[in-house]
Amino acid sequence: MARWLLHVDLDQFQAAVEFRRHPELRGLPVIVGGNGDPEEPRKVVTCASYPARAYGIRAGMPLRTAARKCPEGVFLPLDPPGYDEASEQVMAVLRTFTEQVEVWGWDEAFVAVETEDPEGLASAIRSAVAELGLTCAVGIGDNKLTAKLATGFAKSVGKSADTPADHPGAQEGMFRLTAANWSQVMAHRPTNALWGIGNRIAARLAELDIHTIGDLMAADRAVLAAEFGPTNGPYLWVMGRGAGDTEVVIKPPPPVGRSKSETFPRDLTEPAEIRAQVARLAAEVAEEITGAGRIAVRVAVTVRTSTFYTRSKQSKLAEPTTDVPTIVDAALRVLDRFPLDRPIRLLGVRLELAPVADAAT
């Protein structure tokens, strides 16, 4: 049997979790973010239901902007514990089909399976998720790149001229994208339609007269290497041909760092207040790594001013440690390297962690 990669992507996840608790909200423009107060400064939308998206509401938009665009929107606060619980339920369902499940955040996962009928399996997954009161799209591919891209098409099957229901590989809520139909589906699309190519790289490719994925497929690898480097250049060519990673990581590697940041309701201007906030953040993240049995080896501080100018500075600790006062003192010494001559909008502290093998010795 052939091996397939399925990408399962939950629809409007945070809003959908709220719909399970409040069915009366279904069909309404629900906007999730912050504490649910659209007048709360410096808070952004983290999820918008499909009716809200019709008003132009998007993740990352300030809540105040969303309220202006959609005055009748229903604003709800973030509920991370609730989303954790719902996500764990979904991932547990996926593992009833196979142990080969790689979780990507709350609302998506890659599933590796051997089957003669990937569409049948995708349909079974969608039905099982629906029993949880949630919905999902499933992209079917021969690697992670094609599966991820297929999910985007799965969400628009029959809903747009770009992905009609009779498109090759299309079924309701599902789409198959593999080497067999790659050129037909992708060659005419712009290069930034590829997962991993943003507008900046697309603009650089355009300067080389590479505008579509078909152009990228036909590009000279030597030219790409000269422009993007000996590794990244040829990799872009490989991506253009629909090749990608096929490995599914069941257990993610231990994190190499842990961080905590905060955007403040008002700009900080007093040095003593700034130092107090950095000390608090450093203490909180230090306590988190200690609770996780990890050891810090480096500390970094990030400062963002009211003009969004952002800088990070770091320092290696004299020796690996879990001592909270030592980590706080190190963070404050890093902070002392900033001029702090402008109002501060955001502060962050990140700890780089010793490898697990080292931490255990």
- Give pLDDT tens digits along the chain (361 positions): 899 999 999 999 999 999 999 999 999 999 999 889 999 888 889 999 999 999 999 999 999 999 999 999 999 999 988 999 999 999 999 999 999 999 998 999 999 999 999 999 999 999 999 999 999 999 999 999 999 999 999 998 877 777 767 777 888 899 999 999 999 999 999 999 999 899 999 999 999 999 999 999 999 999 999 999 999 999 999 999 999 999 999 987 788 999 999 989 899 999 999 999 999 999 999 999 998 899 999 999 999 998 888 999 999 999 999 999 999 999 999 999 999 999 999 999 999 999 875 444 4
Output the pLDDT for position 358. Answer: 47
Task: Decide: 94 and 109 in contact? Cβ < 8 Å.
Answer: yes
Predicted structure pTM score: 0.79
Angstrom distance (rounded) from CA 78 to CA 46: 8
- What domains does the chain contain, in order, with CATH numbers? 1-176 (3.30.70.270), 187-240 (1.10.150.20), 257-359 (3.30.1490.100)
- 311 CB-side CA count, 13 A: 12
Q: Of how many residues is the chain composed?
A: 361
Angstrom distance (rounded) from CA 256 to CA 321: 15
Single out the residue of 312, 328, 316, 344 nearest to residue 279, CA to CA.
328
Going by DSSP bridges, is the β-strand pair 136-141/174-177 parallel, antiparallel, or unpaired?
parallel
Output the pLDDT for position 357. Answer: 56
SS3 of the chain: helix, strand, coil, percent, to 5: 40, 25, 40
Angstrom distance (rounded) from CA 226 to CA 268: 45
Q: What residues have CB less than 8 Å from 5, skipping those under 6 apart? A: 110, 111, 112, 140, 141, 142, 143, 144, 146, 147, 246, 248
Q: What are phi and psi of 91, to 5 degrees?
A: -65, -35
Positive or negative CA dihedral for 306, 309, 310, 314? negative
330 by DSSP, 3-state: which?
A: helix
Please work out, in degrees rounded to the nearest 5, the angle formed at the alpha carbon of residue 252 by the alpha carbons of 250 and 254. 150
- Residues labelled as active-site residues: 108
Please work out, in degrees rounded to the nearest 5, the angle formed at the alpha carbon of residue 112 by the alpha carbons of 110 and 118. 100
Q: What residues have CB less than 8 Å from 246, skipping those under 6 apart? A: 3, 5, 112, 142, 143, 144
Q: What six digits make up the tokens of 289?
A: 């790594």
Q: What six digits make up the tokens of 359?
A: 């931490």
Q: What are phi and psi of 145, to 5 degrees?
A: -60, -50
